[in-house]
DNA sequence: TTAAGATTCAAACGAACGTTTGAGCGAAGT
DNA sequence: ACTTCGCTCAAACGTTCGTTTGAATCTTAA
């Protein structure tokens, strides 16, 4: 029973618990009383330290994404410095972007698989304040990596690259969310490796490494797939009348 | 008997409105009063016709997924009948599985892009009753297609195929969800094509076709990507910089 | 016409929600 | 010693939630 409580003790305990509960139940289905109860702090502590429930979710993400954004930009800077003006290889860009994220899943101090799962599940949340928040947090990094891919694949139309970046983000987001129907049906996949509900399976490090090992070749294969042959809509032109 | 005006009028109006509102706000953030208000029916109508809010969501999905499951199984039956015992081509399997779904997005009578977006956003919902429901609905179809892929790719380890099916589901789910950060940052992608917020952009047919045209080559490229070289965890212990 | 069943309706239920309040506490600062 | 300030606390705020109720209204068939 350590009675020693400082300011950051309460703040960080709220953030850690909220991160886990938001991941397990989603934002709307997680109440302030669930969070403060599990964190063993007073109900009013969240509003005192963060201002509101929305601001708490933002802070949960901000403390992780600020590290991730910095790391992703540094990785790209490093690669471009080594290349000395030449375009990067697509595999290098993907490794810097997705590898950096998946390496967060290996380190519990950076949130581990708990944060990765939360991120994957929250990226498809339709709530407006969430989407606005992510848009602001991701803007700079997305733009830098998008331009790097444009230079790495000069023969591919830019719109096509954006589409495939979109698909790659989706495959990763869904994979780290760990809610796939396959996992329940086949008993195989991320959930099987993670041992989500209590049972101590392999640790976050092993889970994240195995996932990265499977995901990266898939993403690269998709990015380099042959372009669709027909330019746009096929022959028949069907217009919804009125 | 055939005149089902009163009953199915209310029932179907509730289902249509609920489908749209669940898509726009998510399950938890959509209240019964929002649904019954927009559908112009009494608040008690949902509990009378469906029993509960959870049962309403299940019915919203069931009326679409029963059609989708039937169509997907028939498509696979047709292909296997034509092949006469020989393994199918992976592209045929993907076309039957993903093409059938994306064709739902073209037809407003089958839910159109509204249902596709709802499906993509709900597949990552952590609520237990939702995941159990999807597991039951998808079990048979997933199993059939999984086996078809095993036979189509006899040289690829089965675990690897399951992983890649997992990734393909993710890319599709995320793409049809239409909540990608790319759309807000770059103003390009599904949301741009869809004109989600009121403005009449291209119809569902055009949106779904363009999406399918871009997604299918990506999925095929990912599925056929070279296998990861190392069997499991590498030797080096890499520490993320802080 | 009339009785029975199906559907709609306004109103209310208890519970849970996010947030606010004002008193109380303990360790600095002067 | 006394004030200040950061923080915690129990209690309550007003609102909204999903659900239930019982009477009113409509539909249907004998």
Which residues 52-111 of chain B have a CB within 8 Å of chain A?
108
Task: Give the per-residue pLDDT at A12.
Answer: 96
Structural domain including B40 reads 7-51
Residue A159 sits in the same domain as residue A211:
yes
Task: Give the per-residue pLDDT at A216.
Answer: 97
Residue A240 placed within a domain: no
pLDDT higher than threshold 90 for residue A3: no
Residue A73 placed within a domain: yes
Task: Give the per-residue pLDDT at A241.
Answer: 38
Give the chain A residue nearest B237 (alpha carbons). A205
- Give yes or no for B150 touching A (CB within 8 A): no
**Helices B112-122 and B204-223: crossing angle, nearest 10°?**
40
**Interface residue of A170, A191, A203 to substitute, partner B, most B CBs within 10 Å:** A170
User: Given pLDDT bands bounded at 50, 70 and 90, which one contains residue A180?
Assistant: confident
The residue among B180, B146, B152, B179 whose CA lies nearest residue B165 is B146
Residue B78 sits in the same domain as residue B185:
yes
Mean pLDDT of B155-174: 95
User: Given pLDDT bands bounded at 50, 70 and 90, which one contains residue B140?
Assistant: very high
Task: Give the per-residue pLDDT at B187.
Answer: 55
Residue B130 sits in the same domain as residue B167:
yes
Residue B91 sits in the same domain as residue B210:
yes
Q: How many domains does chain B have?
A: 2
Residue B108 sits in the same domain as residue B145:
yes
Distance from CA of B4 to the nearest CA of A (A): 27
Task: Give the per-residue pLDDT at A236.
Answer: 43
Task: Give the per-residue pLDDT at A117.
Answer: 96
Residue A91 sits in the same domain as residue A208:
yes
Residue A156 placed within a domain: yes
User: Given pLDDT bands bounded at 50, 70 and 90, which one contains residue B8?
Assistant: low
Task: Give the per-residue pLDDT at B3.
Answer: 34
pLDDT higher than threshold 50 for residue B238: no
pLDDT higher than threshold 50 for residue A196: no
B126 closest CB neighbour out of A26, A168, A182: A26
On average, the pLDDT of chain B sits at 87
Residue B67 sits in the same domain as residue B44:
no
Which residues 209-228 of chain A have a CB within 8 Å of chain B?
209-210, 213-228
ipTM: 0.89
Task: Give the per-residue pLDDT at A203.
Answer: 83
Mean pLDDT of A101-115: 95
Residue A150 placed within a domain: yes
A190-205 b/e (C-beta count within 10 Å ≥ 16 → b)? bbbbbebeeeeeeebb
Q: Which residue has the higher pLDDT, B188 or B28?
A: B28
Residue B102 sits in the same domain as residue B218:
yes
Mean pLDDT of B228-238: 54
Residue A136 sits in the same domain as residue A208:
yes
Task: Give the per-residue pLDDT at A229.
Answer: 77
Which nucleotide is closest to the Cα of B7 by its C1'? C7
Residue A66 sits in the same domain as residue A40:
no
Residue A72 sits in the same domain as residue A47:
no
Of the listed ranges A105-109, B53-57, B61-65, B182-186, the least confidently predicted one is: B182-186
Task: Give the per-residue pLDDT at B182.
Answer: 66
Mean pLDDT of A157-186: 87
pLDDT higher than threshold 90 for residue A100: yes
CB contact under 8 A, B162 and A135: no
Mean pLDDT of B53-75: 98
**CATH code, A31:** 1.10.10.60
Residue A28 sits in the same domain as residue A100:
no
């Amino acid at each position: 029973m350590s009675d020693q409580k400082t300011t950051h003790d309460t703040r960080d305990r709220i953030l850690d618990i909220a991160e886990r509960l938001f991941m397990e139940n989603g934002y709307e289905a997680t109440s302030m009383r669930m969070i403060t109860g599990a964190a063993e702090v007073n109900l009013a502590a969240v509003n005192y330290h963060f201002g509101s429930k929305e601001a708490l979710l933002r802070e949960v993400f901000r403390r992780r994404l600020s590290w991730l954004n910095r790391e992703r930009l540094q990785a790209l800077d490093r690669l471009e410095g080594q290349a000395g003006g030449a375009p990067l290889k697509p595999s290098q860009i993907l490794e810097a972007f997705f590898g950096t994220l998946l390496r967060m899943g290996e380190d519990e101090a950076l949130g581990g698989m708990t944060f990765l799962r939360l991120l994957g599940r929250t990226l498809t949340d339709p709530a407006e304040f969430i989407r606005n928040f992510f848009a602001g947090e991701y803007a700079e990094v997305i733009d830098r990596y998008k331009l790097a891919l444009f230079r790495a694949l000069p023969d591919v139309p830019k719109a096509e690259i954006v589409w495939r970046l979109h698909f790659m983000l989706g495959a990763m987001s869904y994979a780290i969310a760990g809610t796939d129907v396959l996992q329940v049906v086949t008993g195989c996949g991320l959930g099987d490796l993670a041992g989500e509900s209590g049972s101590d399976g392999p640790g976050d490090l092993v889970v994240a490494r195995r996932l990265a090992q499977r995901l990266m070749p898939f993403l690269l294969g998709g990015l380099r797939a042959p372009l669709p042959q027909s330019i746009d809509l096929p022959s028949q032109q069907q217009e919804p009348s009125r």
